[in-house]
Amino acid sequence: MMAKAPPSPLVRLTKIDKQFASGTLALGGLSLELGENEFVSLLGPSGCGKSTALRLIAGLSTPSRGSIEWRADGADRLSPDGLRGMELGFVFQEPTLMPWRTVFGNVYLPLRLKGMRKAAARPIVMAALDRVGLTGFENAYPRQLSGGMKMRVSIARASVTQPRLMLMDEPFAALDEITRFKLNNDLLDLWAAQRLSLVFVTHSVFESVYLSSRIVVMAARPGRVVADIPIDAPYPRDEAFRTSETYNQYCRIVSAALKQAMGEAVPEADPVRERASVG
Amino acid sequence: MSDNPPDKSGEAPAGGFGLSTGRLLRLMMPILVGVIALLAWEAFVRIEEVPVYILPGPLRIAQKLVQEWGSLSDSLLVTLRITALALISAVVIGGGLAILFTQSKWIEASFFPYAVILQVTPIVAIAPLILIYVRNTEVALLICAWIVAFFPILSNTTLGLNSVDDNFLDLMRLYRARRFQVLWYLRLPGAMPYFFGGLKIAGGLSLIGAVVAEFTAGTAAGGSGLAYRILESSYRLDIPKVYAALFLLSASGILIFMLFSGLAHLFLHKWHESASRRER
């Protein structure tokens, strides 16, 4: 019996340049492959284009130069229009919940947009809510929820269509540390249970080491990959991992890579403006 | 997974309808002020023996209201009918135009300035022309009232439909939502608070528009609304009846405002800050 060839990656970005209308070169020659079941963190200083890269992967933005290929669900090779046949989940930095819809209504929305009736969608929505621990809150309105719970609703919405690839743009940046740790663990559970591939944008070394199977360190001006570090610690990971020697070692390695990435960047006068245009 | 238990109590109607002392006071104080003012008015008229054709007392006005209820209520209905029709057409045309505007920037850019021109031209100045061009007086009055009422609805709704967070638009794109889905699931519900704000203003304005148009039409056009009653009564120096008609107009205006405030609360209180109170 012949060994099966390893599956092609889910997404491949090749020599991507992204220039905004303002002239800012957000990404310059970015190449990246994302494989199945990976938990990849994009880590880098503000303005390194990590959010831009995420938006490109989601198809919310188009590259100025270079190519992106996706592997459509059920397909076995990459194609430039593979995105059309691919189920994606996206979690924004803000929970981005419609205030006029209940928790149920918000999670139901992606299915509703696909034309699914409420009765048929109900069990799927309820299962998605259950996965993030929000059973019993389906009739609440977003304004009644805490920040952490809003983010859970947002994650439930992203996972309700059963995507293989989930993209998250600094989802926990605005949360307090206790909530953040809790959500980190729950996200790992979700990732394992759903056999997701995850791309996670963050600027926290500690968060990325804790979560990721692989960390892609990016540098700014122009945004590009400077290090690609696999984190070879076994899953499931729990709080014990946070205090382990392996964890500390990886944190040191990643910190060093990040420091180098930031040192390479030409220090420019106005980082705030840069962030606003690149974000 | 149970971080940060949410406010379950938030599901109970905030404040409720029970009258707390504070609420009762808030309700009673303006009534008290009104009663004192009316008493003072009545006392002033009696002590100074002001002739009825200059300033009638509130009692005299109330009496007149009852006496002349037949003709006054007929006029009230005529005015309210025009007000309601003007408002309905303002909602349909103003709201419809707003939706059209958000579908194409070009349409908005081409037509919005004319809507503004319509708005800034004083209605009293156009009303005589409209009354000349439109044979049917009722239709002419309706058009006048509509012109004043439709702009707040158009501009507020347009603003609301355009005030959509970029992330929501990204979300819709991500799920490949079609144009009407973006409108139906995102823009329209998001615009509701703005729309209701416009409706509250337009309700009062359509009443004013109707009255202004009736005044311009005057007695000649054979109108029969409240404004016509006021004109007719003032020609006859029947000042109590002028006041009685005036009272009906104000009362209608207040009722219209309360109606739409209530409607806005009904639709928005579950989710929008403007219509819900912070829990303490």
Asked whether the predicted pLDDT for residue B17 surpasses 70, the reply is no
Residues A231 and A121 in one domain: no
Rounded Cα–Cα distance for residues A150 and A166 (Å): 18
CA distance B37 to chain A (A): 44
Quick one: pLDDT at residue B24? 85
- Give me the domain span that covers residue A154: 97-162
Which of A116, A143, A162 is where one domain is finished? A162
pLDDT at A122: 96
The pLDDT of residue B48 is 92
Which of B4, B181, B192 lies closest to A148 in CB terms?
Answer: B4
- 3-state DSSP helix/strand/coil percent for chain B, to nearest 5? 80, 0, 20
Asked, for residue A4, whether it belongs to a domain, the answer is: no
Regarding predicted confidence, which is higher, A268 or A180? Answer: A180
Average pLDDT over residues A131-143: 93
Number of residues that make up chain B: 280
Is residue B257 within 8 A of residue B200, CB to CB? The reply is yes
The structure tokens 């029709």 sit at B85
Do A80 and A146 belong to one domain? no
Q: Which residue has the higher pLDDT, B76 or B273?
A: B76
pTM for this prediction: 0.82
Spatial contact of B220 and B214, defined as CB atoms under 8 Å apart: no
pLDDT tens digits, one per residue of B229-272: 998 899 999 999 999 999 999 999 999 999 999 999 988 888 88
Q: Which of A129, A162, A195 is the last residue of a domain?
A: A162
Interface test with A, best of B1, B2, B11 (most A CBs within 10 A): B1
Q: What is the pLDDT of residue A24?
A: 85
Query: Residue A5 domain-assigned?
Result: no
Which ipTM score applies to this complex? 0.86
Contact B259, B83 (CB under 8 A): no
Question: Are both A153 and A169 inside the same structural domain?
Answer: no
Q: Which residues of A touch B190 (CB under 8 A)?
A: 98, 100
Residue A221 is assigned to a structural domain of this protein: yes
Residue A188 lies in a domain: yes
Domain count, chain A: 2
Note whether A59 and A104 are same-domain residues: no
Contact B4 A112 (CB under 8 A): no
Q: Which two tokens stand for residue B201?
A: 């203003």
Q: What pLDDT was estimated at residue A273?
A: 41
pLDDT-above-70 percentage for chain A? 92
What confidence score (pLDDT) does residue A6 get? 55
Q: How confident is the model at residue A228 (pLDDT cuts 50, 70, 90)?
A: very high
Q: Do A107 and A146 share a structural domain?
A: yes
Considering chain A, what is the average pLDDT of its residues?
88
Note whether residue A266 is domain-resident: yes
A183 vs B contacts (CB less than 8 Å): 3
| A264 falls within a domain | yes
The verdict on A193 and A267 lying in the same domain is yes
Q: The domain that contains A256 carries what CATH number?
A: 3.40.50.300
A152-173 pLDDT, tens digit per residue, is: 999 999 999 999 999 999 999 8
Domain check: are A27 and A153 in the same one? no
pLDDT at A263 over 80: no
Q: Is residue A92 part of a domain?
A: no
Last residue of a domain, one of A120, A144, A162: A162
Indicate the pLDDT class of residue B275, thresholds 50, 70 and 90.
Answer: low
Q: Is residue A2 domain-resident?
A: no
- B212: which 2 tokens? 């202004």
Whether A112 and chain B come into contact, CB under 8 Å, resolves to yes
At B219 the pLDDT is 62
Report whether pLDDT(A53) > 50.
yes
Q: Indicate whether A143 and A21 sit together in one domain.
A: no
- A152 and A172, same domain (yes or no): no
Whole-number Å distance between alpha carbons of B49 and B45: 6
As a whole number, mean pLDDT of residues A230-252 equals 90
Band of residue B278 on the pLDDT scale cut at 50, 70, 90:
low
Pair (A208, A149) in one structural domain: no
Q: Is residue A211 domain-shared with residue A73, that is, in the same domain?
A: yes
Beta-strand ranges (E) seen in B76-173 are: none
A204 and A82 within one domain: yes
Q: What would the pLDDT profile of A176-208 be if each residue is shown by its tens digit?
A: 999 999 999 999 999 999 889 999 999 899 999
Q: Which residues of B touch A (CB under 8 A)?
A: 1-4, 6-7, 10-11, 165, 167-168, 170-177, 181, 185-186, 189-190, 192, 270-273, 276
